[in-house]
Amino acid sequence: MSLPTATTLPRVTILTANAGGGHRTAAQSLAEALEGQARVSFLNLMDEHAPFPINAWSDMYGPWVTYAPHSYHLLYRLAHNRARVIRVARLLFPYVKAAITPPLLQQEADLFISVHPLQTDVPLWILRSAGRRAPFVTVVTDPVTPPPAWFCPDVDLCVVATEQARSVALASGLAPHKVQVIGLPIRRSFTEALKLSRGEARARVGLTADRPCLLVTGGGAGIGRLMVIARALARRLAGHPVPPHLVIIAGRNRALARRLRAERWPLPVQVLEFVNNMAEWMAAADLLVSKAGPGTLAEAACLGLPILISGFIPGQETGNVEWFRQAGAAIYEPNPERLAHLADELLRPGNPLLAQMAARSCSLGRPHAAGEIAQAALRLIAVPEPV
Ligand code: UDP
């Protein structure tokens, strides 16, 4: 038997978008899992090919959900009806068709995987009406309360992370045999970080091991009231018996990073913009403060990191809070002062609740989900009969 060479490997196109960080890291995780088994390319129709204002959606996403969460939620609720979503998509289709069709049809893919809810129905219409029959897979990155826009019944496979999401898929018209509950794809660096001791991870990120580490994040776009939260945490933790390392990752929110850096803090604070080694930072941390971003929660669970959830994007992230809270892996506290109090308590030496939350968080982790999804997707590609 001869092994497949690079040029005989199947071609896989992953449809993704830049909004937040979760879609991008899901795409990256799948590409890593397909390495050596497929030739992968990425296609971002929304941000790189669609006309204005669709191509501005991803850039608007961070400021929109931070400063006008209620209007975002209103849109989410309006979109919580598949028939309505399809009506709007059909209305907009003539406007986007000319721009997105050529780059899509240029892809000579044997398999398409979409990790974005707005890049399922429309690309499938284009592909199928051009006679392209390559299997199409959706990997749903909203684990508990996904908007119905994700669930195009014509896909060949739809991967979700929980039974709740499976119910939404079925209610949206997907045939049961097309829906698989696997998990959220996690980047390889997280499974690699599982092998690191806390001390090794600390050394990698340049932190000493003599004090706890509290990591604060707001997804890829630095979403949430991170400035207010950071101030409350710093005030409270400055009086901690062993003041922790306070590390704030502002993601792509440069304005927030600038404001955080300009602040005079009562304890040493490290402010970072977008980091590519989140796995090492999480492995180095004792406790995470974050909004209920699905990618971040799944990654923290992979490493057994306890979480204080400081907020959530109404609608798509609502279910994530209960998912982690009910499992005992996270505590939800939207009030920054009370959140700081909790962080202070949890980081007291020997607090048994922190260890308990870490174990619960670990139990939710699916470190090998990306590999399992890759295998399920590759199985859809018809293997030619030997001649
Ligand atoms: N992330 C990262 N570096 C950063 C900030 C975030 O790699 O500096 C990653 C994070 O690890 C996660 C993703 O961005 O994989 C954020 O996804 P999530 O679903 O939590 O929230 P979103 O950004 O999509 O709102």
CA nearest neighbour of 330 among 368, 304, 348? 304
Residue 4 C-alpha to ligand 1 middle, in angstroms? 34
Give the Å distances, CA to CA, from 309 to 21, 66, 213, 322: 17, 15, 16, 10
Residue 312 C-alpha to ligand 1 middle, in angstroms? 14
Minimum-distance ligand 1 atom for the alpha carbon of 25: 15
pLDDT number for residue 1: 52
Minimum-distance ligand 1 atom for the alpha carbon of 275: 8
Instruction: Annotate 152-172 with DSSP letters as a single string.
Output: -TTSSEEEESSHHHHHHHHHT
Task: Locate all alpha helices (DSSP H) within the chain, ordered by sequence.
Answer: 22-34, 45-48, 57-67, 69-78, 82-106, 121-129, 163-171, 188-193, 198-205, 226-237, 254-262, 278-284, 294-302, 318-326, 336-346, 352-364, 369-378
Residue 105 structure tokens: 């049809």
Angle between helix axes 121-129 and 82-106 (nearest 10 degrees) is 50
Residue 171 structure tokens: 């209610």
Name which residue sits closest to atom 8 of ligand 1, judged by CA: 274
pLDDT number for residue 2: 60
Residue 139 structure tokens: 């990997």
Predicted model pTM: 0.94
In this structure, are residues 63 and 53 in contact, taking their beta carbons and an 8 Å threshold? no
pLDDT number for residue 3: 62
In this structure, are residues 316 and 65 in contact, taking their beta carbons and an 8 Å threshold? no
* Placement of tokens 């706890």 in the chain: 212
Instruction: Annotate 9-36 with DSSP letters as a single string.
Output: SPEEEEE---STTHHHHHHHHHHHHHTT
Which segments in the chain show pLDDT lower than 50? none
**Is the previous residue joined to 53 through a cis bond, with omega within 30 degrees of 0?**
yes
Ligand 1 cavity residues, CB under 6 Å: 20-22, 25, 217, 219-221, 223, 249, 251, 274-275, 278, 293-296, 299
pLDDT number for residue 163: 97
Mutate to test the pocket of ligand 1, among 23, 25, 190 (most ligand atoms within 8 A of CB): 25
Helix H or strand E segment including 148:
none
The radius of gyration of the chain from alpha carbons, rounded to an integer in Å, stands at 21
In this structure, are residues 30 and 370 in contact, taking their beta carbons and an 8 Å threshold? yes
Minimum-distance ligand 1 atom for the alpha carbon of 217: 5
Burial 159-184 (b: 16+ CB within 10 A, else e): bbbbebbbebbeebebeeebbbebbb
Residue 169 C-alpha to ligand 1 middle, in angstroms? 24
